[in-house]
């Protein structure tokens, strides 16, 4: 199969998104109580049993999305799921930003890369970061659908 710029771009975007989901999921493995505390910090009204289920399941959902993105499997369903998770995160962080809540987004710590990146852990920074990630999912969807419409086979 000939590697076109669109196909290469699709692979790069899948790997970038895959690494982000991998890092996010990996950082939560075995951290059910801190993840639950992060969920409660958003001050949303959900049953405790649902919050506990999310705290236990979220790392595995993120890891599964990472594997599917790396492998390019189950397109477009993987993109829909990744986009859905990111939209949910964005809504939650945006409402926390708007309500001026001091939240722990439950994400990995970007300040380990550079201290200036600590802003990405704030509600505003997390919201903007998630909007960028949603745009990456959108770009990947566009590349997939454009490749599919030309050849009948998904580009991813």
Taking residue 54's Cβ as centre, other Cβ atoms within 10 Å add up to 16
How big is the chain by its Cα radius of gyration, in Å? Answer: 17
Residue 121 above 90 pLDDT?
A: no
Please tell me the distance from the alpha carbon of residue 68 to that of residue 71, in angstroms, as a whole number: 5
Would you state the pLDDT for residue 151? 44
Query: For the whole model, what pTM was predicted?
Result: 0.87
Residue 87: per-residue pLDDT: 98
pLDDT attached to residue 49: 97
Cα torsion 43, 45, 48, 54 to 10°: value is -80
Long-range contacts of 6-10, Cβ-Cβ distance < 8 Å, separation of 24 or more: 6/143, 6/146, 6/147, 6/155, 7/147, 7/155, 9/139, 9/143, 10/140, 10/143, 10/144, 10/147, 10/155, 10/156
Is pLDDT at 153 greater than 50 in this prediction? Answer: no
- 70 has pLDDT over 70: yes
Q: Name the least confident of 47-51, 54-58, 66-70, 145-149.
A: 145-149
- The mean pLDDT value for 15-22 works out to 96
Q: Which of the residue ranges 23-27, 42-46, 50-54, 124-128 has the most confident prediction, judged by mean pLDDT?
A: 50-54
Q: Is 77 exposed, middle or buried (0-12, 13-18, 19+ CB in 10 A)?
A: exposed
24-28, 49-53, 112-116: range with lowest mean pLDDT: 112-116
Between 103 and 62, residue with greater pLDDT = 62
Q: How does residue 122 score in pLDDT terms, banded at 50, 70 and 90?
A: confident
Torsion of CA 84, 86, 92, 94, to 10 degrees: -120
């Amino acid at each position: 199969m000939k590697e076109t710029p669109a196909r290469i771009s699709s692979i790069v975007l899948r790997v970038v998104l895959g690494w982000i989901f991998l890092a996010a999921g990996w950082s939560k493995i075995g951290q059910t109580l801190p993840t639950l505390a992060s969920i409660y910090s958003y001050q949303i009204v959900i049953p405790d049993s649902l919050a506990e289920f999310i705290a236990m399941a979220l790392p595995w959902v993120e890891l599964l999305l990472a594997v599917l993105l790396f492998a390019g499997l189950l397109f477009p369903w993987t993109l829909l799921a990744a986009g859905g998770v990111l939209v949910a995160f964005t809504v939650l962080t945006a409402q926390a930003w708007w309500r001026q809540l001091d939240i722990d987004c439950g994400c990995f710590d970007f300040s380990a890369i550079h201290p200036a990146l600590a802003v990405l852990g704030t509600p505003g920074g997390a919201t903007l970061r998630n909007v960028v990630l949603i745009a990456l999912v959108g770009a990947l969807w566009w590349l997939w659908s454009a490749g599919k419409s030309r050849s009948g086979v998904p580009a991813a």
